[in-house]
Structure 1
Amino acid sequence: MDNATLQGFLNKGLIDVGGDDTKLQKLSQAAKDLAGILKKTPSKALSYSLIAFDPGAPEDDPVVREALATLQNRWATYRNTFAATPITVIRAILLDALVDAAEEDDRVGVCFVASARNALPLLPVDNERDIWIGIVEQVERRVDARAEEEWATPETISVPPMKYEVPTFTAPEVTIGEASASDLQAGMQAAAGPSYQSPGQGAVATNGNQNWPLQNQLQPWVYEFGTRSGTAIATAINAAMAEIEVRQPDLAEPFSKLAKVVSGYVDNTLKSISVATAGLQRRTNLLWWREALYSPSAGKSYRELLPSVAAALMALDLFKAVPLFSPASVSAFLSEAVLHLQGTGDHGKRPVRDLVAEAQNHSDLASLRATAALLAAAPDGRGPLLALIGHPARIDAQNADDFQRLTGVPAASELDAVAWAGWLFRELQASKATKDASPAKRRSAKKN
C-alpha cells in the first residue's frame, strides 16, 4: 500500500505532520492496521465509511475511538503533534484503510461507493473534493467491472462433452440343442418301408410306409415317404430347437448408470445456460417491473401510494430483485422508474428527517422496516438511515441533534422522491454487503 491517499490530505494542507516523514509513516502503519481489521471484519466497512466522509464526525463515536486506539499503538505521542482530537487525521487513515481493503474485498468497495454516493453531496467537503472524486471513481470502476461481468450475457455458451465410460459387456450364453439321431433314423426308416432289418432280431415291424417302392406302387410310396420323412425331420428339428437356451447379460446396472450420467449432464447443461443467461433474464424482469409499476412488497400499484412512499418501496423491490454486485446503471434505472410515476418529478424536496419518520411509521412501508431491521443493527454510533428505519423505537428521527450524530446527514438536508429512492437502494446494497457471503474477489475474466 502506498501513501497516495494520505499524501492527498497532506498536499491539500488538511493534515500537518511538520514535514516529518516518520510521522507520515506512522499514519500509514495505522491505516494498514485498520485495513487489516476491515479485511477480517468487512461488516465494519459501512460505519468506517460514514465517519471517513464526515468532517464533523463526533469525537465519541465508536469508530473514532477505535481508530484513535489504533493510531496510538503506532504513534504513542501523537497528542503532542495535534492540539485536539485529530478528526481529519482519523478520517484520512480510515479512508486509506478503506481503499486498501477494497482492493482485496469487493464487498468493502460496495459499502464505500454506495455510502460515498449518498453522503458526499450533502457534506461540507468542498476542499477535499478533488481527493474524493479520484478515490470513489477508482473503487467504483473495480466494483462495476465485477458487476458487469456477473450481468453479462455471452454470445455463445460452451458445454463440455458428456463423459461416460462404456462398460464391458459379456457375450450371451447359448446352450445348443441336439436332435435324437436314433429317433430320426427310426422315423426315416418307417417312411421308407413297411419294415426294416434289425441285426439279431430279424424283420422288425415299423408301422411305417404301407407301400413298397415297386414299379406299380411307386407313386403311392413316394407320396407316403415324403409325408412321413418330412414329419420325422421336422420333429427332430423342433426337438433340437426347443432345447436351445440363450442367457442374456444383465444390462440393468449399466443402463442405470447411463441414465444417471445423462440426467446429470442435462442438469449441468441447463444450469450453465441459466447462469449464462441470468443477466438477460434479470434485465427482462426489471423491464416488466418498471412497466407494470406494481409493488410485490406492498401488493398494490405504486400509483396508489404517496410519491415518497412509492419511491421507498421501489427502492426496496429493486433491491430484492438484483444481486449485491449490480452495475451503476441500476441506480439510474431506478431513478427513471421513479420518474415514470406521475407526479414524482414535481413533488419537490422534503427534509430527510421527515422522510425517515415517514418510513418509520407509514403502514405501506412495513416491509421496508422489516428488511432494514435485518440488515442494520440498532443505532449505536454512526450508521445508515436504515438503522433508524428498522429500529424506530431506539431514536426519534425528529430529534435534529441525535439524527445528525447517528447518521452524519445535516439536519437541514432535503431530498426529492427520486433521490430518496436512490439513497435507500444504495444503503440497502451497502448494508447487505456487510453481511453477504459472496467471494471477496471478483472472478478473473476468461481468456478467449
Structure 2
Amino acid sequence: MANVLQELLAAGLIDKLEGSDERFKKMTQAADGLAKEFRSSPALLIPAILTALGGDIATDDPLIEMAETALLAEWETLQSVHTDKPIQIYRALLLTACAAVAQERNAAILWLTATDMLQFSQLGREKSAVFKLISLFGDATEQQDISLFAPSTKTARKSTDLPKLDFKEVTFAEVDRNALFGEIGTATGPTNLQNVQYIPGKTHNRYWANQNPQHWGEDFANVMKDVLGDRFDGLGEACADELNGICEALVTAFKAQSQGLQSSISLAQSVSTREQVRLDALWWYESMYSASAKMSYREMDPLAAAILMPLDLISIMPSVTPSSVAYLLSEAVARLPNAGFENVLTLKDVLARVASLRQVIPDSRMEGFNPPTRAGRLSLRDIVRLALEDPSASASDLLHRARVPEDATISLPLLARALLRQEQAIRLAEVTK
C-alpha cells in the first residue's frame, strides 16, 4: 500500500507533506482504514475508483467525504495544514485503498469499472501512475480468468496420490495367567493352600464352598464380576485402540479421495465452462440474434442494438469472462449498419437519442439493468441507464454527473464494450455482498 502512495506522492498528487514521515504515516493509516471498509463492502469500490479517477471531482462527493473522515481520524490537525479541502490527497487515499484490496473479484470490479473511464478522466501529473495501477488491476483480472477458464496442463495431467493405508497386524498382549490365577482365587475362598490370601489386601470370598454354599456363591459372584469385568474392559480398550487407528486411517484416506475427486470434478467443470463460454459467445456472434427481443440486431436501431447486445451477452456468460469477450462484443457491434469503429458520435447526442429507445429494450433485460441510486461520479453505464429511465433527463447534466466533457465522443462498439464491463462490475459487486 505504501508503495502506491509513494508513487502518487512522486507524481505530485500529494502536497504539503514537507518531508514529514509522520504525515505520510497518517495517510497510510487512513488508506488502510478505507481498505477495510472496501473489503467489507465491495460495492464501494465502484464509486471509489470513479471518484479517484476524477481530476475535477466535486468537493462534496460521498467518497471524497469518506476519505476525509478516514484521514481526520488519523490526523486531527489536518485542516490547520490544509485550509482548503485537499481533494488530490483524498483521491490518492482512495486509489491506494483500492490497490490494497485488488485481489480476485475486487480486482475485476475495479478494472471493469475504470478501464473505459480513463479516456474521459481529466488526469494531470498522476496520469502515468494511475494508468499503471489500472493496468495492474487488469492483469489481476486476466489471471482470474485464466484460473477459471484455462487450467494449466500440469494440473490437468497430474494424478492424485491417495495416502497409503498402513494397517499393522492386530496383536493383543498375552494374559498374565499368574495374575489371573490370583484374581480367580480371591473368588473361591479366604486363603490358598498356604493359608494366605491369594492377593493381599484384595477382597476375598469370606466363605468356603462346603461351609455355606449359598453365601459362598453370593461372594463368588460379587468377586468374579469385578475380575471378569476388569479383564473384559481391558480387552475392549485394546480392541477400541486398534479400531480407532484403523478408522483414522480410513477417514484420512477417504477425505483425500473426496478432495481428489472434487478437484477432478472442478477441473472438468472448468474445462467444460471454458469451452461452453467460447461456444455460446461464438454462436451469439455469428447469429447476431437477440433472444430477448426475438429479432436480429441488424433489424434494430444500431444504438438500441449497442445497448441491448451487452445485456444479452451478459445473460449467457459467467460472472467473470476473459477480456476477449468484451472485444468480441465490440466486433459484433461493428458489423451493424453504420456502426463501425470509425463512426464516432458525441456522447451528448448518444444520450439524447437513448431516451427514445426505452421501448426497444425488452423488460426482461431492463429488470437486471438497474439505475444507479448512489450520489457522486457516475459511469457511462450509469448515465445511459438514467437516460433510458427518464426521457426528460438532460444530456448535459448526465455528462456532468459522470465528469465527462460535453464534447466527448465515442463509437458504438466502444460504448457497448464499456456497458458490458461496467455492468459486469456491478453484478460482481452484488454477488460479493
TM-score (norm 2): 0.69
Superposed CA deviations along residues 378-433 of structure 1, whole A, max 9, x for unmatched, are: 25222334444445557954252x32443222222121111111110111111112
3-state DSSP class of the match of 1:381? coil
CA distance in 2, matches of 1:130, 1:369: 37
Task: Kindly indicate whether residue 3 of structure 2 is the aligned counterpart of residue 4 of structure 1.
Answer: yes
The code of the aligned residue for 2:5 comes to L
Alpha-carbon offset, residue 270 of structure 1: 8.0
Could you tell me which amino acid in structure 1 is paired with residue 10 of structure 2? N
- Relative to structure 1, the CA distance from residue 359 to residue 108 in structure 2 (aligned partners, 3 Å threshold; closer, same or farther) is farther
1:424 is matched with: 419
**Cα distance in 2, alignment partners of residues 410 and 83 from structure 1:** 29
1:348 Cα offset (Å): 2.2
Give the match's secondary structure for 1:127: coil
Q: Contact 2:13–2:92 (CA<8 Å) still a contact in 1?
A: no
Q: Which residue of 2 aligns with 1:63?
A: 63
- 1:310 pairs with 2:309: no
Please tell me whether residue 381 in structure 1 is matched to residue 380 in structure 2: no
Q: Which residue number corresponds to residue 14 of structure 2?
A: 15
5 Å matches for 1:362-401? 362=357, 363-367=359-363, 368-373=365-370, 376-391=371-386, 396-400=392-396
Paired with 2:70 and 2:374, the residues of 1 have a C-alpha distance of: 23
1:293-352, CA deviations, whole angstroms, 9 ceiling, x for partnerless residues?
Answer: 001122110111122221221111122222222222222221222223342117722232
**Equivalence map 1:403-422=2 (5 Å):** 403-422=398-417
Conserved 8 A contact 1:382-1:407: yes
| Greater gyration radius | 1
1:343 aligns with 2:341: no
| Match of residue 135 from structure 1 | 133
Q: In the alignment, what sits opposite 1:112?
A: 110
Cα deviation, residue 268, structure 1 = 11
- For residues 342 and 305 of structure 2, the distance between their equivalents in structure 1, rounded to whole angstroms, comes to 12
Residue in structure 1 matched with residue 88 of structure 2 by the alignment: 88
Greater displacement, 27-36 / 345-354: 345-354
1:79 counterpart = 2:79: yes
Cα distance change on mapping 1:6 and 1:160 into 2, 3 Å? closer
Determine the structure 1 residue equivalent to 2:212: none
**Distance between the aligned counterparts of 2:343 and 2:419, measured in 1?**
18
SS in 2 for 1:415: strand
Instruction: Go from structure 1 to structure 2 and tell me whether the alpha carbon gap of 1:405 and 1:60 turns closer, same or farther (over 3 Å shift).
Output: farther
Secondary structure of 1:435's aligned partner: helix
Q: Amino acid of the residue matched to residue 134 of structure 2?
A: V
Query: Residue 336 of structure 2 aligns to a residue in which SS?
Result: coil
Distance 1:294 1:395, change over 3 A: closer
* CA apart distance, 1:159: 9.4
Letter in 1 for 2:11: K
What is the match of residue 47 of structure 1?
A: 47
Deviations 1:262-302 (A, max 9, x none): xxxx9998886444311012101111111100011221101
Which residue in 2 is equivalent to 1:180? Answer: none
Aligned to 2:146: 148
Instruction: Please give the alpha-carbon distance, in whole angstroms, between the structure 2 residues aligned to 1:338 and 1:354.
Output: 18
Between 358-367 and 4-13, report the one with greater CA deviation: 358-367
Q: Is the 8 A contact 1:384 1:427 kept in 2?
A: yes
- Aligned partners of 1:379 and 1:99: how far apart in 2? 22
Q: 8 Å contact 1:350–1:416 — kept in the other structure?
A: yes
1:236-280 Cα distance to aligned partner (Å, 9 max, x none) = xxxxxxxxxxxxxxxxxxxxxxxxxxxxxx999888644431101
Aligned to 1:232: none
Q: State the match for 1:97 in structure 2.
A: 97
Q: Residues of 1 paired with 2:46 and 2:262: CA distance?
A: 40
Pairing partner for 2:294 from 299, 303, 316:
299
Q: Aligned partners of 1:128 and 1:271: how far apart in 2?
A: 42
Q: Which residue of 2 aligns with 1:177?
A: none
Of the three residues 108, 122, 125, the one matched with 1:124 is 122
Classify the secondary structure of the residue corresponding to 2:339. coil
Rounded to whole Å, the distance in 2 between the matches of 1:13 and 1:47 is 23
Distance, in Å, in 2 between the alignment partners of 1:51 and 1:98 is 11
> SS at the partner of 2:126?
helix
8 Å CA contact 1:372–1:389 kept in 2: the answer is no
Tell me which moved more, 339-348 or 317-326.
Answer: 339-348
How far does the alpha carbon of each residue in 1:178-221 deviate from its partner, in whole angstroms, 9 at most, with x for none? xxxxxxxxxxxxxxxxxxxxxxxxxxxxxxxxxxxxxxxxxxxx
Counterpart Cα distance in 2 of 1:28 and 1:77: 16
Q: Is the 8 A contact 1:347 1:416 kept in 2?
A: yes
Name the SS of the counterpart of 1:350 in structure 2.
strand
1:433 and 2:428 correspond: yes
Q: Measure the CA separation in 2 of the matches of 1:273 and 1:307.
A: 39
Which residue of the partner structure matches residue 215 of structure 1?
none
Asked whether the equivalents of residues 49 and 115 of structure 1 are also in contact (C-alpha less than 8 Å), the reply is yes
Residue pair 2:356, 2:391 contacting (<8 A) in 1 also = no
Residues 76 and 121 (structure 1 numbering): CA distance in 2 closer, same or farther, change over 3 Å? same
Greater Cα offset, 74-83 or 28-37: 74-83
Please tell me the residue identity of whatever aligns with 1:37.
E
Show structure 2 runs of 5+ residues with no match.
162-260
* Comparing 74-83 and 355-364, the one that deviates more: 355-364
The whole-number CA distance in structure 2 between the counterparts of 1:128 and 1:74 is 24
SS of aligned partner of 1:297: coil
SS across alignment from 2:71: helix
Distance 1:275 1:120, change over 3 A: closer
> Which residues of 2 match residues 167-246 of structure 1 at below 5 A?
none
Counterpart CA distance in 1 for 2:101 and 2:318 is 21
Shift of 1:32: 0.5
- Can you give the 5+ residue segments of structure 1 that lack an aligned partner in the other structure? 162-265, 439-448
Does the aligned pair in 2 maintain the 1:46–1:111 contact within 8 Å?
yes
Distance 2:100 2:54 in 1: 19
- In structure 2, relative to structure 1, the CA distance for the partners of 1:94 and 1:292 (3 Å cut) is same
Q: CA deviation at 1:44?
A: 0.6
How many angstroms apart in 1 are the aligned matches of 2:336 and 2:109?
A: 29
Given residue 19 of structure 2, which amino acid in structure 1 is its aligned partner? G
Pick closer, same or farther for the CA change 1:354–1:159 going to 2, 3 Å: farther
Instruction: Say if 1:27 and 1:19 are closer, same or farther in 2 by CA, change over 3 A.
Output: same
The separation in 2 between residues aligned to 1:78 and 1:88, in whole angstroms, is 14
> 1:81 offset after TM fit, Å?
2.0
Residue number in structure 1 paired with 2:182:
none
